[in-house]
Amino acid sequence: MSVYNLPLENSIERLREVRAALLRLHKALLEFERVNYEQFFGRIQSKGEYFQLVVNHDWFSWLRPISQFIVQIDEALSAKEPITVGAANELLSQARQMLRPAQDGRTTLEKRYYRAIQQEPEIALLHADVSQLLASASRPQ
C-alpha cells in the first residue's frame, strides 16, 4: 500500500464508521418517535403498519432526510466507480450539517432532533458518538 492511498482509505473508513453510527442513531430516533406516536395515537399493530407510518406519516417525516442520507452513503460506498476522497469528505461534511440539533432551529429536523437528545439519554450518547466521529473526520491526518 502506498502513502498516496492512505487519505482515501482513511476517508472511506471514516465514512463507514459514521454510517454505522448513523444507523444506530437512526434506529434509536425511530424507536423514540414510535413510543411518542403510540402515546398520542395508540399502539401500532404490526411491523407492516409501523413501516408504512415511517414512510408516509408526517409524524416521522423529520427522520426521512437521515434515512435518505444513509442510503446516499450506501450508494457511494457500493458504486462501481470507487469513491473519491473529495466525495467521501463531502458526505462527511453533509452529515455535520444535517446533525445540528437546535432548540430554535430553522428546520423541523433541527428542532425535533434537539428535543429527542434532551428527552432520551441513549440518543444523547449516540449523538455524542456521531459528533465525535465527524469531528475526527474533519481533522487532517
Question: 47: alpha, beta or left, given left = phi > 0 and alpha = psi -120 to 50?
Answer: alpha
Residue 134 · residue 96 · CB < 8 Å: yes
Question: What is the number of residues in the chain?
Answer: 141
Q: Of 32-41, 75-84, 131-140, which gets the smallest average pLDDT?
A: 131-140
Closest CA to 29 of 56, 58, 67, 2: 67
Q: Reply yes or no on whether the pLDDT at 10 is more than 60.
A: yes
Strand, helix or coil at 120? coil
Question: 3: alpha, beta or left, given left = phi > 0 and alpha = psi -120 to 50?
Answer: alpha
Summarised one tens digit per residue, pLDDT across range 38-69 is 999 999 999 999 999 999 999 999 999 999 99
Summarised one tens digit per residue, pLDDT across range 105-124 is 899 999 999 999 999 999 99
